[in-house]
Structure 1
Amino acid sequence: MSKIPFTGKSQQARQQQQRVVSSDPLQPAEAYNPEHPLLEDPDALALRLAESEDFLRRNKNILLGLMSIVVLAIAAGFGYYMWRGSQDTKGQAVMFQAVDYWEADSLNKALKGDGRNLGLERVAAEYSGTDAGNLANFYAGVASLKKGEYKKAIDYLEDFSSDDYLVQARAFALIGDAHLELNQAKEAANFYNKAATHNANEFFSPGYLLKEATARELAKDYEGAIAAYDKIITDYATAAEVTEAKQYKARAEGLAGK
């Protein structure tokens, strides 16, 4: 219980006291309302403190439980962060040999492993959620695409994401290549468009747009193809692809009946 004494003053006495201590001598006493009534009224402050102490006493177990949950959540988050960091380091190490096989075009060993070292498929699965597992998805997607396993390539590449705009755009374009091999021209065109517009630049975007236009022609979307050719001609006037874009645009316009 608070040690602030109970004054025993009536409500009327307290109101009179408030009228006396008004900070504005020009303001009528009866119109004065203190900005912080608890500071002006020790009895009210004592009552509020008593209520707070009683609330804490009655809900002590609940409050302690909530605090424990918060502490455990923080500890678990920190532990997961440390574990994930160690897993990523381990994943990078075990993936080293698989990447060597990938660079040497030994695609089966790159994907499946060599009996002693893990392949990209297992790295992607066992180290999912780490940077190593994410990168394994990209390598596995490219290897699957080269092997003609187009659906697997799409799955791996769609599970890959990168903060590097050029690498991410490349992944979108490769997904487009896989869809085109599966005779899914419309889907291919959409991914080529994603590649072209993801951090659009004069070095790679014109090539992706040319692929998009070709895929849209295969899908008989001639208006879409013309729009892609126009974007190359208008936005990337100095690109090497402009000459082809002008030629193919005329062909697409003829097919569209223009």
Structure 2
Amino acid sequence: MSELKNPQEEQATTNPLEGLDNVENELNRSAEFVEKNIKPLAIGIVAVVAVVLAIFLYRSFILAPKEQEAARSLYKAENLFARDSFNLALNGDENVTGFLEIIKEYGSTDAGEVAKAYAGLCYKGMGEYEKAIQYLKGFDNNDKMLTPTIKGAIGDCYLELKDINKAIDFYKKAASADNEFVTPVYLHRMGETCLKAGKTSEALKAFEELKKKYPNSSVTMDADKFIELAKASK
């Protein structure tokens, strides 16, 4: 990994913390973009998680300056993750500190916790769902946006492993957060999964709650269709 430049040099060149005054606005716009463009039947969980992780890291930069060294180590790995270079983002090379090494070096920091989430998502992207669950469950934080998003990602992994009941349980945990950005996504996913599993009453409840509490969410657009389908399947 290349040596860190001193703070003044980084601010003058490629400091990932440069322009923090504008970061929050950019993240908010990103969140709005994802929300408006999520397809109800093909929800992009990676996009959701990426936005939420970015917001969480921004808070760490502002509220805990001592986290900056760990956060800088995440910067290149995050870029690789965004390009779906999961193996390289996870393990790193001579130029990039991978998420696994960041966990080892900075596991007690907020950035180290975020690295656990990213590591889990890398394993998920590589189809190694059991390892993904291990790292995602290792994430320990009570952030009201990030925590339910990680619960939802765990649900996705269980769904891939054909463990429908555990998938539904984690979707329920994710949907229990009262969050206009995250909750509608997982209510919809829980409803679909319940419907496919023949749990029509639970599916109906999920879609009715989605329609009632989050009528303006883009994922609510097809709620009526699923409500009728659930009723017809009872």
The reply to whether residue 211 of structure 1 matches residue 189 of structure 2 is yes
TM-score calculated relative to the size of structure 1: 0.59
TM-score between both structures, scaled by the size of structure 2:
0.64
Q: What CA RMSD, in Å, does the superposition of the two structures yield over aligned residues?
A: 2.4
> Measured at CA, do residues 139 and 210 of structure 1 come closer, stay the same or move farther in structure 2, by a change above 3 Å?
same
Q: For 1:42-66, what per-residue CA distance to the aligned partner results, in whole angstroms no more than 9, with x for missing partners? A: xxxxxxxxxxxxxxxxxxxxxxxxx
Report how many residues are paired: 171
Contact 2:168 2:193 in 1 (8 A): yes
In structure 2, stretches of 5+ residues that fail to align are 1-63
Question: How many Å apart are 1:141 and its aligned residue?
Answer: 1.4
1:133-179 deviations in whole A, cap 9, x for unaligned?
A: 21110111121111111111111111113343122222111111111
% same residue: 31
Provide the C-alpha distance between the structure 2 equivalents of 1:132 and 1:241, rounded to a whole number of angstroms: 31
Give unpaired runs (5+ residues) of structure 1.
1-84
1:113 offset after TM fit, Å?
1.0
Amino acid at match of 1:179: Y
Task: Tell me the residue number matched to 2:114.
Answer: 135
The one-letter code matched in structure 2 to 1:226 is L
Distance 2:190 2:108 in 1: 32
Q: Is the 8 A contact 1:88 1:127 kept in 2?
A: no
User: 2:153 matched to which residue of 1?
Assistant: 174
Structure 1 pair 115–195 and aligned structure 2 pair: CA distance change class (3 A): same
Deviation at 1:194, TM superposition (A): 1.6
Per-residue CA deviations over 1:160-214 (Å, capped at 9, x if unaligned) read 133431222221111111111111222112222222222x133332221010011
Could you give the per-residue CA deviations for residues 6-25 of structure 1, whole angstroms, max 9, x where no partner exists?
A: xxxxxxxxxxxxxxxxxxxx
AA of the residue aligned to 2:134: D
Q: Which amino acid aligns with 1:100?
A: N
Larger radius of gyration: 1
Q: Do residues 146 (structure 1) and 125 (structure 2) align?
A: yes
